[in-house]
Amino acid sequence: MDEARATKRIPMDFKISSERPGGTIGLVTVTGEIDVYTSPRVRSAMLELFEAGCTSLIVDLSNVDYLDSSGLGVLVAGLKRAREHGGEVHIVTSKVRIMRVLEVTGLDKIFSISSTAAEALADTGGK
């Protein structure tokens, strides 16, 4: 399925925002589900921050109820890009369901995971 068709089915409760809380750190905040239909929007938000000069990202999944393999792929691709530029991707979540997906896939050992965006920002050193 191409990206144009996938983005047409974005659920009404899906929301995404991005900002630069400081220096070379970008923050992507997602609400809803990250799946084949919404993951292109997450990828775009991450790419925009990288292109704006961010080397590390905080991806706030605190309000994400569902994360599928396409969403995991976007996160891993973002991590790869960040590491190529000396940065990291920090995930924010305290949801058991999302943590379980990260644990089952082994990604909990690859990503830095925090329970709040403030904690993740402090972990990045506010670079």
Per-domain boundaries in the chain = 3-123
Three-state secondary-structure class, residue 22: strand
Confidence of residue 9 (pLDDT cuts 50, 70, 90): low
pLDDT of residue 5: 45
pLDDT of residue 10: 56
CATH, domain 3-123, list 3.30.750.24, 3.90.1570.10, 1.10.1740.10, 3.30.1330.20: 3.30.750.24
Residue among 50, 115, 114, 113 at smallest CA distance from 86 = 50
Q: Where are the beta strands (DSSP E) in the chain?
A: 15-22, 25-34, 56-67, 89-92, 112-114
pLDDT of residue 124: 79
Q: Kindly state the greatest CA–CA separation across the chain.
A: 39
pTM above 0.95, yes or no: no
Between CA 127 and CA 54, with CA 16 as vertex, the angle to 5 degrees is 25
C-beta of residue 58 within 8 angstroms of C-beta of residue 24: no
